[in-house]
């Protein structure tokens, strides 16, 4: 589902050149959960942004569902991203003036469906948020906002989920809700790439890839169970 080869991203600034990613390669198959761990500043978020087509790398390539992401036009890349990829963010990135229901429906604007409203309501019920659909994000707890973010990520039935520190702000109970959803997604044939500081991720992932200074240092395989 996902193949990354020799991915490199370099930033230039007043402090000089920073090699955020250097020659990173990895794969995530359908039905596989891969976690990426490492200290702050090691390149985890840069990797996720480049994987999702949101940050053009300086070298290397990314293949999603058998298609070379950066060989296609911006518009075609955006269409593939809308159709195949769901994003889960640590800071949620919910639109503050939209209701919970409207936030979950937002991805369907890129892929209109006559059943979008039914799909959104079904997801919110699944995450025990049926009574919150008209609320705005500011009125929700941290765990509720993350569940809204999960529902939004799953709205278009993606085949690949990219998750950036999705449990970093959550207590143990809410983190387990997130991992349970991820496990269900993977068991259904989805591919999951998660970057995190959270050591609990390694207990659920099939493999854990460790980054330091933009490079892969080692791979732990297997890291645990997906249950």
**Topology of the domain comprising 2-220:** Rossmann fold (3.40.50)
pLDDT at 198: 76
Task: Work out whether the CA dihedral 211, 212, 218, 224 comes out positive or negative.
Answer: negative
Name residues of the chain where pLDDT drops below 50. 223-227
**What does the domain layout of the chain look like in residue ranges?**
2-220
pLDDT at 158: 94
130 C-beta neighbours (distance < 10 Å), count: 14
pLDDT at 171: 81
pLDDT at 218: 87
Cα atoms found within 13 Å of the Cα of residue 163, Cβ hemisphere only:
34
User: Quick one: which of 143, 141, 138, 154 has its CA closest to 190?
Assistant: 154
pLDDT at 227: 41
CB 60 within 8 A of CB 6: yes
* Rounded Cα–Cα distance for residues 36 and 86 (Å): 17
Partners of 9 in the β-ladder: 21
């Amino acid at each position: 589902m996902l193949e990354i080869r020799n991915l490199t991203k370099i930033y230039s600034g007043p402090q000089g050149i920073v090699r955020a990613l250097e020659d990173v390669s990895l794969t995530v198959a359908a039905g596989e959960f891969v976690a990426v761990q490492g200290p702050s500043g090691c390149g985890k978020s840069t990797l996720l942004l480049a994987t999702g087509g949101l940050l053009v790398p300086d070298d290397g390539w990314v293949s999603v569902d058998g298609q070379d992401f950066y060989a296609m036009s911006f518009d075609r890349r955006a269409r593939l991203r809308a159709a195949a990829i769901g994003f889960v963010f640590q800071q949620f990135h919910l639109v503050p003036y939209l209701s919970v229901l409207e936030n979950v429906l937002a991805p369907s604007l890129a892929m209109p469906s006559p059943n979008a409203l039914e799909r959104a309501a079904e997801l919110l019920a699944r995450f025990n948020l049926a009574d919150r659909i008209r609320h705005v994000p500011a009125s929700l707890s941290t765990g509720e906002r993350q569940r809204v973010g999960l529902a939004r990520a799953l709205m278009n039935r993606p085949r690949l989920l990219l998750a950036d520190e999705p449990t970093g702000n959550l207590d143990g109970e809410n983190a387990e809700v997130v991992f349970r959803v991820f496990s269900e997604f993977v068991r259904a044939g989805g591919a999951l790439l998660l970057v995190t500081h959270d050591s609990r991720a390694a207990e659920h992932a099939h493999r854990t890839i460790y980054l330091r200074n933009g490079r892969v240092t080692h791979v732990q395989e297997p890291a645990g169970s997906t249950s």
